């Protein structure tokens, strides 16, 4: 039986006209930074004034390695299961106090979405105020999730569509909505940081979304010999017309180490559309690192069988062999097809 979500327990945000033109709004906290996420509304209930929400999915994929780096062509049945549970309550001053936990288990057969046979998780506590939401814990993906291109459909996952460098898991973050704009920031325990801005509103018959992201992070080369300090800037533009979405993203990243410095730039583009119960996506990526190319592409499809139950397919290609001063920065060459049955809740 599906549990009905209770009415919101928090009131309107307090006006802060002295500080900003419009008060910020608190944002829901999502700790799922992986490729697969549930599209369903969370199950929710109220327990003694605390709202508890649960969402998740179970995915059974058939993974076919059409081409892999080690030259093998394997076919394996895998498993991916994840969930997020959160609990929040409202204080007397109308602030929202809460905690959230996300966990995922994935087998090594599904290398596009995880690549290792293990369990991973994220946890965070948060305070939602009229200034926005302040988060502490595993916050490394908060700005990325606010500013990224739209995920591919079904089992599509576009490689390289991000900076190489990233934040360490533990840190703090802020997310606040100001009318049609969202501002976000994150900092980790090393002092590395990310800043993001998103603007979204309908214009005529289209919905327009524009984002910008600045990042200062770290990246370890694929041969594990060199750690780079990275600085990057990325932009995304998205237009939605009816049930079709087009988007374009691009960025520049500087990788610096004690032995070598390299420059990277990249472009990614994609389209998605829905036809009755069928949703399709196509994406492509091209970039260069120190004059050497990185390429990837993905095709995805999802067919909804019923509430939360779907058939999914995807083909994902990635190729890059980037070296500089004897350092293997990135080395991958893979084509994988995925067919799966998925249940989201």
- Count each helix (H run) and each strand (E run) in the chain, helices first: 1, 18
Report pLDDT digits (tens) over 266-297: 999 999 999 999 999 999 999 999 999 999 99
Q: How many residues does the chain have?
A: 345
What share of the chain in percent tops pLDDT 70? 88
pTM equals 0.85
CA atoms within 13 A on the CB side of 173: 33
Q: What is the DSSP letter of 166?
A: B
Name residue, tokens 């079904």. Answer: 154
Containing 278, the helix (H) or strand (E) segment is strand 278-289
pLDDT digits (tens, 9 = 90+) for 88-132: 999 988 899 999 999 999 886 555 554 556 888 999 999 999 899
Residues 217-269: pLDDT tens digits? 999 999 999 999 999 999 999 999 999 999 999 999 999 999 999 999 999 99
DSSP-assigned states of every residue in 146-200: HHSPPPPSTT---TT-S-S-B--SEEEEEEEEETTEEEEEEEETTS-EEEEEEEE
Residue 289 CA: distances (Å) to CA of 140, 208, 258, 324, 329: 24, 31, 18, 9, 9
Task: Measure the CA–CA gap between 74 and 14, rounded to whole angstroms.
Answer: 57
- Which pLDDT score, from 0 to 100, does residue 74 have? 76
Does residue 156 surpass a pLDDT of 60? Answer: yes
pLDDT bin (cut points 50, 70, 90) of residue 321 is: very high
- Residue 214, classed as helix, strand or coil, is strand
CB atoms within 10 A of CB 199: 14
């Amino acid at each position: 039986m599906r549990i009905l979500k209770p009415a919101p327990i928090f009131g309107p945000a307090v006006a802060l006209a002295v500080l900003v033109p419009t008060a910020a709004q608190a944002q829901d906290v999502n700790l799922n930074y992986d490729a697969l996420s549930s599209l369903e509304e969370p199950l929710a209930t109220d327990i003694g004034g605390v709202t508890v929400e649960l969402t998740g999915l179970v995915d059974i994929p058939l993974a076919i390695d059409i081409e892999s780096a080690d030259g093998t062509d394997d076919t394996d049945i895998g498993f991916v299961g994840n969930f997020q549970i959160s609990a929040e309550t409202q204080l007397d001053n109308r602030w929202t106090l809460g905690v959230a936990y996300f966990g995922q288990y994935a087998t090594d057969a599904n290398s596009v979405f995880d690549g290792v046979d293990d369990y991973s998780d994220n946890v965070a506590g948060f305070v939602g105020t009229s200034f926005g939401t302040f988060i502490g814990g595993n916050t490394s993906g908060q700005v990325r999730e606010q500013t990224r291109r739209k995920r591919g459909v079904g089992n599509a996952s576009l490689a390289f569509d991000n900076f190489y460098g990233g934040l360490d898991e533990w840190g703090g973050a802020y997310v606040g909505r100001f009318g049609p704009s969202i501002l976000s920031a994150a900092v980790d325990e090393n002092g590395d940081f990310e800043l993001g801005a998103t603007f979204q509103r309908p214009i005529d018959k289209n919905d327009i979304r524009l984002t910008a992201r600045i990042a200062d992070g770290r990246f370890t080369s694929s041969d594990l010999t060199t750690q780079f300090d990275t600085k990057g800037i990325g932009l995304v533009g998205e237009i939605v017309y009816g049930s079709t979405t087009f988007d374009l993203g691009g960025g520049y990243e500087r990788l610096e180490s004690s032995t070598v410095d390299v420059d990277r730039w990249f472009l990614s583009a994609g389209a998605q559309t829905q036809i009755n119960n069928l949703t399709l996506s196509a994406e492509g990526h091209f970039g260069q690192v120190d004059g050497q190319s990185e390429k990837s592409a993905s095709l995805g499809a999802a067919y909804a069988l019923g509430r939360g139950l779907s058939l999914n397919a995807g083909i994902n290609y990635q190729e890059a062999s980037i070296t500089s001063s004897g350092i293997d920065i990135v080395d991958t060459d893979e084509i994988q097809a995925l067919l799966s049955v998925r249940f989201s809740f």
